[in-house]
A and B are shown apart, each in its own frame.
Chain A
């Protein structure tokens, strides 16, 4: 699982971590019972405050995506299966697109229509994901 954070992103960093974990679940990089990196490890890798990583893990636990095994770390739960997170991730992506559309003076209909047209005219873009 490779997590990347963008400081310029409008989402707070802990939300970005949560979305990255969801992304890893949806693309199959993470599966139920897989371990997440420890808070210390991920904080160190991303040069983040460990409290920010812990907050993201706590929120994911509250949503039932991951669970904590005492003394062993944080693991993906059954609810973290790709299907379950797919919808949530799609909502998050849609929300960002809607905000961006509004910023550009476009309505939700304008956006949906443009997405339909694009999707019809284009093969799925290939996203080779590590």
Chain B
């Protein structure tokens, strides 16, 4: 019932049946991720859903047990270094490497590695995010590391950004600044972005595609406009004992409202759903699209069988 394919592309990232097991537990289970070129794709899901494993597979940092991935036209299993050179990556967590290095030295190190590194832009990003070159990397707080990672990811103006919980550990002011820098990056490059998050409301204004990962499975992915058109909450009231239409398809959630009111969350064409509810004897009082975060919650709760 829920949409899982975005059609023909062109895609900056596409995987087919990507599967990864740790011990016996599947961390990724047949994932067909599709990130259209130029999209801001938000990958939502609870902690442990497999988001980081998926991103690491795209960079050739984790080896899938089955399935394939194409990233910027390359296969990350055989062309990992090329993929990483053309991608801006903010990894999960603080990362232990380079602790002894000064921040400024680490920036120079990256400048030498990336052919497209823009020194002026790196300087502007560092000032905007208050990243200080004289500090030692190992002495930075979690939020400071995050800001440094954002500078490192953006300063070579990559055509693909893979951001794993990029706002994690940022205080509200730094988060706001980082989102503004991402907007500018998008306006300047027209590039593609994957943002994994368990706090989707933070990236509400940027997202134009949503994928929901649960237990290693991509349970839904769709463009934002399709999501907003198809996923809606209906409130209706009916006579005493009214239970609504019996075989309404696409129902994600049904609950009693106040008094004789019933409330459905449905994936479907609004006209059809309203007609079905009306035909069963109810008066539809309100049809509303869900806020972005509520859409994610609804899709996460959608029944496994659907």
Contact = CB atoms under 8 A, between A and B. Distances in A.
B179 A47 contact: yes
B7 to A, nearest CB: 18
- What interface size band does chain A fall in? 20 to 34
A118 to B, nearest CB: 23
Contacts of B182: 47
Given A7-B201, A47-B180, A102 B291 contact: no
A51 interface: yes
A5 interface: yes
Nearest to A38: B187
A7 B184 contact: no
A50 B181 CA distance: 12
Contacts, number: 60
A60 B85 CA distance: 40
By CB atoms of chain A within 10 A, which of B176, B183, B208, B292 has the most? B183
A46 B205 contact: yes
A46 B179 CA distance: 9
A51 B205 contact: no
A49 B182 CA distance: 9
Interface in B165-187: 176, 179-184, 186-187
Given A47-B176, A50-B183, A105 B285 contact: yes
Contacts of B205: 5, 7, 13, 46-49, 52
A43 B183 contact: yes
Interface of B: 38, 40, 176, 179-184, 186-188, 201, 204-208, 225, 228, 235, 285-286, 288-289, 291-292
Interface of A: 5, 7-8, 10, 12-13, 39-40, 43-52, 102-103, 105
